[in-house]
């Protein structure tokens, strides 16, 4: 299984600012994803982080608001830009491991509160 | 479009009682179905997937294509089963496909 760490684990931010969340995996993985889990709601896929190219965003999510980087097979960042209180959520990094049975592994999440 | 419905936000059962967490799905093809679990202060993790036909921690789930359901069952609930459970669906069309999650059911096992 893949072990995923995220930084920061939580943060409180002022509206209008930006926060970058890091996701580090202990092994090379084929796919990395970023999810959002708003209070009382299910997990919503934000985007697939593609190594060496632009991320693939889901409907309702745009690069200007959620820029994503993935410089290699074990690391990715998600930036939440120009934050508003509506961005308060848990942000989850998830991976599918190379050669695995397409099992998804999840990071511990980053709990973000925007004031 | 694929959709997963978990009608119960909260399910409370007494220890030793049977548990059934409901999951219905909408998908035009033959999907792959999963149950994920999140225990308190732990990360989301895979509990079981229908193609494995496994019993994990006493839980089983059978895919019923006629009723488009994938209910999670356990004959005797334990306190340590208290957690958030998510049903999830992926198109079974080869390789990894985007997973759609239900809204989750919180299982509370009363001692």
Q: Could you read off the pLDDT of B16-60 as tens digits, one per residue?
A: 999 999 999 998 888 889 999 999 989 999 999 887 778 889 999
Q: Pick B46's closest partner by Cβ from A41, A92, A104.
A: A104
How many angstroms away from the CA of B50 is the closest CA of chain A? Answer: 12
On whether any CB of chain B is under 8 Å from the CB of A45, the answer is yes
Residue A29's pLDDT is what?
Answer: 85
Contact B44 A106 (CB under 8 A): yes
Q: What is the DSSP string of chain A?
A: ---EEEE-SEEEE-TT--EEEEEEESS-EEEEEEEEE-TTS-EEEEEEEPTTS--EEPTT--TTTS-EEEEETTEEEEEE-S--GGG-EEEEEEEEETTS-S-EEE---EEEEE-
> Each residue of B73-83: pLDDT tens digit?
999 999 999 99
The whole domain housing B20 covers: 3-110
Mean pLDDT across the stretch A70-76?
A: 93
Residues in a beta bridge with B86? B36
Chain B's closest residue to A103, CA to CA, is: B46
A24-38, B48-62, B97-111: the lowest-pLDDT one: B48-62
Report domain extents, chain A. Answer: 4-114
**Structure tokens given for A50:** 């593609």
Contact B95 A102 (CB under 8 A): yes
Mutate to test the interface with A, among B34, B43, B46 (most CBs of A within 10 A): B43
Given the candidates 3.40.50.150, 2.60.40.10, 2.40.50.140, 1.10.1740.10, the CATH classification of the domain at A4-114 is: 2.60.40.10
How many angstroms away from the CA of B45 is the closest CA of chain A? Answer: 7
Number of domain units in chain B: 1
CATH number of residue B98's parent domain: 2.60.40.10
Q: Pick B46's closest partner by Cβ from A41, A103, A109.
A: A103
């Amino acid at each position: 299984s893949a072990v995923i760490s995220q930084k920061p684990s939580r943060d409180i931010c002022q509206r209008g600012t930006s926060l970058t969340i890091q996701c580090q995996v202990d092994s090379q993985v084929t796919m990395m994803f970023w999810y959002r889990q708003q209070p009382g709601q299910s997990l919503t896929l934000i985007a697939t982080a593609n190594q060496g190219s632009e991320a693939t965003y889901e409907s309702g999510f745009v690069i200007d608001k959620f820029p994503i980087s993935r410089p290699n097979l074990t690391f990715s960042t998600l930036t939440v830009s120009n934050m508003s209180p509506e961005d308060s959520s848990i942000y989850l990094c998830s991976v599918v491991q190379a050669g695995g049975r397409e099992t998804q592994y999840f990071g511990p999440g980053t709990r973000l509160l925007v004031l | 479009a694929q959709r997963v419905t978990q009608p119960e936000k909260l399910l409370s059962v007494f220890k030793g009682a049977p548990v059934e967490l409901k999951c219905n799905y909408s998908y035009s093809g033959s999907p792959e179905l999963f149950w994920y679990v999140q225990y308190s202060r732990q990360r989301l993790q895979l509990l079981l997937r229908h193609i494995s036909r496994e019993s994990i921690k006493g839980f089983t789930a059978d895919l019923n294509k006629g009723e488009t359901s994938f209910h999670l069952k356990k004959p005797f609930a334990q306190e340590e089963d208290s957690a958030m459970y998510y049903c999830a669906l992926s198109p079974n069309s080869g390789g990894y496909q985007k997973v759609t999650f239900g809204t989750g059911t919180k299982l509370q096992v009363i001692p």
